Chains A and B, each alone.
Chain A
Amino acid sequence: MNTATETRAVIVEREMPHPPEKLWRALTQPYLIEEWLMKNDFKPVVGHSFNLRGEWGGVLDCEVLAVEPNKTLAYTWNFANDDAAFDLKSVVTFTLTPTPKGTHLRMEQSGFRPEQKQAFGGAKHGWQKFFENLESVVGGLS
């Protein structure tokens, strides 16, 4: 059991029946990112600052940290809040590994600080809406 580690990082992995090159396009081309994640002005350039804009009106501040085509993509995933304790500062890292059937995609979101009151910036700042329609999905995770 490694409780404390699990609370600081979220890892979601899935094998997808598509080649890494195709997944890479979906992860790095703005009009494709919008299709599965959020509206954005992303560029696959280290140091590029961009925003992810949620349908609920929330805006995430991001900066590209790592770009290794078809293999690794990392960017900051920050949600500013006037109350420092509610600030969300995290890093999202996608790792693509080719498999016989396609690509193993691993997403790790980490960097949550222990002193954070709530990693999602609190229910009153939009995240609640973001997650409301996901409750059923979460419920199915066992």
Chain B
Amino acid sequence: MPDAHDVLFRTLADPTRRALFERLCREGEQTVGALTAQSGVSQPAVSKHLGVLRQAGLVRDRHEGRQTHYSAQLGALAPLVDWTSRMAGFWQNRFDDLEDLLKRMDQ
């Protein structure tokens, strides 16, 4: 089984896929047709990207009649949020120590 980070990084590394995901995050649920209209790529290509996003857990599909609606699943980003938070937390803490040091250097 690939690592969760691995899958998320790889999935979002593609600019077209990332744009689709970002659009779903911004604008909420969309049909494949609506997404295709603004994506600049063909509908089969959009469908393929959505399939990859779905496998990564980043989007969910909902069938209604002949239309498939897609929506973003922000929870899937949790491993990344946690990861960046940790690194940011590390540096915030180091900056705290740096500030303490700078105060001591005054003396």
Contact = CB atoms under 8 A, between A and B. Distances in A.
A binds B: yes
Interface of A: 1-4, 6-7, 10-12, 14, 16, 18, 22-23, 25-26, 32, 35-37, 85, 105, 107, 109, 113-120, 130-131, 134-135, 137-138, 141
Interface stretch (B39-47, B61-69, B83-91): B83-91
Main secondary structure of the interface of B (DSSP, over half): helix
A7 B10 contact: no
Contact of A10 (B88, B95, B98): B88
Nearest to B3: A117
Nearest to B88: A10
Contact of B85 (A37, A105, A107, A138): A138
Contact of A118 (B3, B77, B97): B3
B92 interface: yes
7 contacts: A3-B12, A6-B84, A26-B98, A26-B101, A37-B97, A116-B5, A135-B89
Contacts of B86: 120, 131, 134, 138
Contacts of B105: 18, 22, 25-26, 32
Contacts of A35: 97, 101
A109 B87 contact: yes
Interface string B10-50: 10110000100110011000000000000000000000000
Nearest to B25: A1
Contacts of B96: 137
A1 B92 CA distance: 23
Most buried by B among A16, A32, A120, A134: A134
B57 to A, nearest CB: 14
Given A3-B22, A12-B88, A134-B90, A114 B102 contact: no
A100 B94 CA distance: 24
Top 3 A-B pairs ranked by shortest CB distance?
Answer: A138-B89, A114-B9, A36-B97
Contacts of A135: 89
B52 to A, nearest CB: 14
A117 B8 CA distance: 10
A1 B89 contact: no
